[in-house]
A and B are shown apart, each in its own frame.
Chain A
Amino acid sequence: MKPSLVKQSSDRLLFLRLKIKDQAAFIQAYEAHQADIYRFIYFKVNSEAEAQDLTSTVFLKVWSVVQAGKLKAYSTLKSLLYTVARNTVIDYYRQNGQSGQVSLDDETISIDVADRRPDALVMMEQDSDLRIIYQALAELKPEYREVIIMHFVNELSVAEIAQITGKRSGNIRVIIHRGLEALRKLAAETDIATTSQ
């Protein structure tokens, strides 16, 4: 799953423009990546409102990084956006942990399928297979879920995921393989449970 050459070039050019603090480039980056970042966060927090707030925070943090001229620490626009997004979610869980709320990245907690997003709910109702996968995804180990979402849903390449997570490409491939296998098993179990009910 390799991003298209045009998209890669466009991202690379946007990143270069961000290095010279181009405001218009930042707006373009927002337009191009807000949906992916929102989705990435949404699968981590399972709340539309929280995902919206955190996505907004991510882009404002990214702008402050751009303004501070600290882009040298990142090699691509995606690695910048996803790294900030991951750290923002970690901060969110730290704060929620202090306030007594639970993290969905805890393996024992699963995503509530009866989601509050009406369009997501409609989508699940119309497609039973998708509903099963969605349920299984919620029960998946957080480490697997994160990589599966980045690779199969947000269509990031193995190399890009490796950059974002700080792991080697080989490790990412193993995680993808194991994650997909675990997801398939969980989906099969969920399917049996749903049929027997």
Chain B
Amino acid sequence: MNDHFVSQQLKKLRQIQPATDWVDQQRQVIMAQVYNGQTPTDQFSYWTNLWLSFKYAFSQPGVVVSAILTIVLLGGGTTSYLAGRHAKPGDSLYIAKQINERAKLLVVSFDRDEQNRLKLAMASQRVTDMSGVDPVTNQKQAEAISREFKQAVSEVKNQLVKAETKAAAQAVIKATKSETELAATTSTEPTFSVATGRDRDDRIEINEPIEATLTPRQIIEEAEQLFDKQDYSATIDKLQAASELLESSK
């Protein structure tokens, strides 16, 4: 007979209960006493009970600590975001803005296109910042903004180069595959005569002029050049165009 066994046996003694009829009878006695012979009514409103629940919740140390932490985190985060929204590189609150931007990038870390568009938006923001800075009197800040802009567009360009390389490699593989398939059916292939400009079936080949379109990477490179020329409005337009092109090619 060990302590565990004894405590288990003691728990069984919970089965000792007052008789049900006595409990019911006693309830009537107590209700008569409490309500003084009147019909029981809801003495306190829903709002009183809600207030008591609220009061009780905030009497718990855990709830109070959690509430304070939530207020500090949310309040601090919102304040620093609002305060840092217009901060420029070199400002004390610029770090808050950077954290906010990095957090946004982290959210879309699995979508390369979305990440590129977000970086272009950040680059546009740097251009706007730059337009409000006098590079002569505020050289350090101007340099910092310029560095940030270059870094953002460079990251996007690198991503686009990678994507283009990948697409080209896939195209080569596809073309090789098509050529192999075509080799099997060369007998019926129509040949084109340069001299007559006609094929075997006497059909004329017409070459339609192809409109030269720029890739997003080329547009970004143009934006970089415009930025260097301090044509900030045109830079923003180019970045916007690149972003739209990325969106449409999704």
Contacts and interface: CB of A to CB of B under 8 A. Distances in A.
Q: Do A and B interact?
A: yes
Interface of A: 9, 12-13, 16-17, 20, 22-24, 26-27, 30-31, 34-35, 38-39, 42, 48, 51-52, 55-56, 59-60, 63, 117, 119-120, 123, 127, 129-130, 133-134, 137, 148-149, 152-155, 180-181, 183-184, 187-188, 191
Contacts of B34: 23, 26-27, 63
* Dominant secondary structure at the A interface: helix
B16 A120 contact: yes
Contacts of A152: 7, 10-11
Given A35-B17, A42-B16, A120-B16, A22 B44 contact: yes
B10 A34 contact: no
Interface string B1-34: 1110111011111111111001100110111011
A142 B2 CA distance: 21
Given A17-B44, A56-B26, A117-B16, A23 B35 contact: yes
Contacts of A63: 30, 33-34
28 contacts: A9-B56, A12-B59, A16-B52, A17-B44, A20-B48, A23-B40, A23-B43, A24-B42, A26-B30, A30-B30, A31-B27, A34-B18, A35-B18, A48-B19, A51-B18, A52-B26, A56-B29, A119-B15, A120-B16, A123-B12, A123-B15, A123-B16, A129-B5, A134-B13, A149-B13, A152-B11, A154-B14, A187-B1
Contacts of B17: 35, 38-39, 119
B53 interface: yes
Contact of B27 (A23, A27, A38, A148): A27
Nearest to A39: B16
Contacts of B1: 184, 187-188, 191
Nearest to A115: B16
A184 B3 contact: yes
A66 B14 CA distance: 28
B3 A34 contact: no
Contacts of A24: 40, 42-44
Quick one: which of B9, B15, B26 has the most chain A CB within 10 A?
B9
Interface of B: 1-3, 5-7, 9-19, 22-23, 26-27, 29-31, 33-35, 40, 42-44, 48-49, 52-53, 55-56, 59
Given A152-B7, A153-B11, A22 B43 contact: yes
A127 B52 contact: no
Considering the complex of A and B, which 6 residue pairs feature the smallest CB-CB distances, nearest first?
A152-B10, A133-B9, A38-B18, A153-B13, A23-B34, A16-B52
A133 B16 contact: no
Nearest to A55: B18
A133 B10 contact: yes
* Dominant secondary structure at the B interface: helix
Given A24-B43, A153-B11, A153-B14, 8 more contacts: A30-B30, A34-B26, A35-B17, A52-B19, A133-B13, A152-B10, A184-B2, A187-B6
A35 B26 CA distance: 12
B153 to A, nearest CB: 55
A66 B29 CA distance: 17
Nearest to A67: B34
Nearest to B53: A13
Contacts of A117: 16
Contacts of B2: 184
A123 B42 CA distance: 41
Contact of A184 (B6, B29, B49, B52): B6
Nearest to A13: B56
B31 A180 contact: no
B66 to A, nearest CB: 15
B16 A180 contact: no
